[in-house]
Structure 1
Amino acid sequence: MTTMMERTRQLVGAEPSRTLRYVPVAVLAVDLAMMVVVGALALYGREQLRFLNPVDGVRESLGVAGPLIVAGWIAMVALVGGYRHDAFGSGTAEYRSVVNASFLTAGLVGIGCYLAKFELSRGWFLLAFAIGLPGLIASRWLARRLLRSARRHGFLQVRVLVSGTPDHIDEVTDVLRREAWLGYRIVGAVTRERDLVEETATGVPVLGLATDVTMVAEDAHADVIVFASGGLDSAKEMREKVWELEERGIKVVVAPSLDDISSDRITVRPVGGLPLIHVDSPRWSDAASFGKRLFDVVGSAMLILALGPVFLFATAQIWLHDRGPILFRQKRAGRHGEMFECLKFRTMVPDADRLIAELLADQDHDGLLFKMKDDPRITRPGRWLRRFSVDELPQLFNVLRGDMSLVGPRPQVQREVDLYHGGMSRRLLVRPGMTGLWQVSGRNDLSAEEAMRLDLFYVDNWSMLQDVAILVRTAGAVVSSRGAY
Structure 2
Amino acid sequence: MALAADVLGTLIPVGAVGVATRQPQPLLTAAVACASWLVVSAAKNRYSRGELGANRAMLAVLRDWLTMLGVLAVLCVAARIETATAVCVLALVPCLALTVVSRTLMHRHLLAVRRRAQALRRVLLVGEAGAVDVVVAELAHRTDHEYLVVGSCLVGEETIDAALPVPARLALDGDGREAQPDGETVLRCAAELDADLVLVAPGRRMPAARVRRLAWALHDEGRDLAILPGLLDVSQHRVRLAKAAGLTVLHIAPAPRQGLPGLLKEVTDRLGALLLLVLLSPVFAVVAAAVRLSSAGPVFYWQTRVGRDLMPFRMWKFRTMVVTADRMRAALESANEHDGAMFKMRRDPRVTRVGRILRRFSLDELPQLFNVLAGRMSLVGPRPPLPEEVERYDGTELRRLTVKPGLTGLWQVSGRSDLSWDETVALDLSYVDNWSYASDIDVLVRTLRAVVDGRGAY
TM-score by length of 2: 0.87
Q: Deviations over 1:64-84 (max 9, x none)?
A: 664465356435433432222
Deviations 1:247-296 (A, max 9, x none): 33322111122102222332221112211122234556679944433322
**Pick from 8, 15, 18: which aligns with 1:46?**
18
Question: Partner of 1:166 in structure 2?
Answer: 129
Indicate the larger mover: 247-256 or 225-234: 225-234
Counterpart CA distance in 2 for 1:231 and 1:453 is 28
1:395 partner letter: Q
Question: In structure 1, which of residues 369, 378, 403 is the aligned counterpart of residue 376 of structure 2?
Answer: 403
Q: Tell whether the 8 Å contact from 2:292 to 2:298 is kept in structure 1 after alignment.
A: yes
Any idea what the Cα deviations from partners look like across 1:110-137, whole Å, max 9, x if unmatched? 4444344455687874454333233223
Residue 206 in structure 1 maps to residue 166 in structure 2? yes
Residue 144 of structure 2 aligns to a residue whose secondary structure is helix
How far the C-alpha of 1:298 sits from its partner, in A, is 1.2
Counterpart in the other structure of 1:87 = 51
Which AA in structure 2 matches 1:307?
A: L
- Return 240-249 or 406-415, whichever deviates more: 240-249
Q: Which amino acid aligns with 2:396?
A: G
TM-aligned CA distance change 1:429 to 1:104, over 3 Å:
closer
Alignment-derived partner of residue 147 in structure 1: 110
* 1:358 counterpart residue number: 331
Between the aligned partners of 1:309 and 1:219, the Cα distance in structure 2 is: 66
Per the TM alignment, residue 391 of structure 1 is displaced from its structure 2 partner at its CA by 0.5
Amino acid of the structure 2 residue aligned with 1:80: K
From 231, 234, 247, the counterpart of 1:261: 234
Residues 360, 366 of structure 1: 8 Å contact kept: no
Residue 9 of structure 1 corresponds to none
Larger displacement relative to structure 2 (183-192 or 210-219): 210-219
> Which residue number corresponds to residue 185 of structure 1?
148
Question: In structure 1, the residue corresponding to 2:186 is in which secondary structure?
Answer: helix
CA distance in 1 between counterparts of 2:236 and 2:82 reads 45
The CA deviation at 1:394 is 0.9
Tell me whether 1:381 sits opposite 2:354 in the alignment: yes
Task: State the secondary structure of the residue aligned to 2:332.
Answer: helix
Instruction: Tell me the equivalent position of 2:176.
Output: none
Q: 1:477 Cα deviation (Å)?
A: 1.0
- Decide whether the 8 Å contact of 2:255 with 2:433 is kept in 1: yes
**Alignment partner, residue 342 of structure 2:** 369
For residue 315 of structure 1, report the CA deviation from its aligned partner: 0.9
CA contact (8 A) 2:11 2:33 kept: no
Q: Which has the higher helix share?
A: 1
Q: Deviations over 1:363-383 (max 9, x none)?
A: 476661222212222110011
The question of 1:70 aligning with 2:34 is answered yes
Q: Residues 192 and 231 of structure 1 are in contact (CA less than 8 Å); yes or no, is this contact kept in structure 2?
A: no
Q: Deviations over 1:450-470 (max 9, x none)?
A: 101111222223222222221
Write the letter of the residue equivalent to 1:220. L
How far apart, in 1, do the equivalents of 2:152 and 2:279 lie? Answer: 55
Structure 2 distance, partners of 1:101, 1:343, is 42
Q: Structure 1 residue 395: deviation in Å?
A: 0.9
Letter in 1 for 2:169: L
Q: 2:299 aligns with which of 313, 317, 326?
A: 326
Q: 1:4 — aligned with what?
A: none
Measured in 1, the distance between the counterparts of 2:434 and 2:17 equals 44
Q: Please give the per-residue CA displacement for 1:210-248, whole angstroms capped at 9, x wherever unaligned.
A: 432222112111122221232853222111111222233
Q: Secondary structure at the match of 2:210?
A: helix
State the 1:35 CA deviation.
2.1
- 2:211 corresponds in structure 1 to 238
Amino acid at match of 2:22: N
The SS at the match of 1:324 is coil
Query: What is residue 422 of structure 1 aligned with on the other side?
Result: 395
Q: What CA distance in whole angstroms lies between the structure 1 residues aligned with 2:319 and 2:290?
A: 11
Given residue 206 of structure 1, which amino acid in structure 2 is its aligned partner? V
Specify which of 238, 262, 265 is matched with residue 292 of structure 1: 265
Paired residues of 2:120 and 2:146 also in contact (CA < 8 A): yes
Q: Greater CA deviation, 331-340 or 305-314? A: 331-340
In the other structure, the counterpart of 1:436 is 409
Contact 2:310 2:401 in 1 (8 A): yes
Q: 1:371 to 1:110 in 2, by over 3 A?
A: same
Secondary structure, aligned partner of 2:302: strand
The offset of 1:101, in angstroms, is: 5.7
Gaps of 5+ in 1: 1-25
Q: Residue 119 of structure 2 corresponds to which residue in structure 1?
A: 156
- 1:120-157 deviation per Cα after TM superposition (whole angstroms, max 9, x unaligned): 68787445433323322322222222222221222211
Q: C-alpha distance in 1, partners of 2:39/2:202?
A: 40
Supply the distance in 2 between the matched residues of 1:101 and 1:408 (Cα, whole angstroms): 29
Paired with 1:456 and 1:123, the residues of 2 have a C-alpha distance of: 44
- Residue in 2 aligned with 1:36? 8
Matched with 1:27 is 2
Partners of 2:58 and 2:223 in 1: CA distance: 22
**Quick one: which amino acid aligns to residue 123 of structure 2?**
V
Measured in 1, the distance between the counterparts of 2:235 and 2:202 equals 20
Q: Which amino acid aligns with 2:241?
A: V
| CA deviation after TM superposition for structure 1 residue 94, in Å | 9.7
The 5-angstrom pairing of residues 473-484 of structure 1 reads: 473-484=446-457
Using a 3 Å threshold, how does the CA distance of structure 1 residues 71 and 369 change in structure 2: closer, same or farther? same
Q: Check whether the contact 1:39–1:128 (CA below 8 A) recurs between aligned residues.
A: no
Deviations 1:84-126 (A, max 9, x none): 2322212548974x55665555545544443444556878744
Pair 1:305-2:269 in alignment: no
Distance 1:104 1:393 in 2: 39
Paired letter, 1:144: H
Q: Which amino acid aligns with 2:432?
A: V
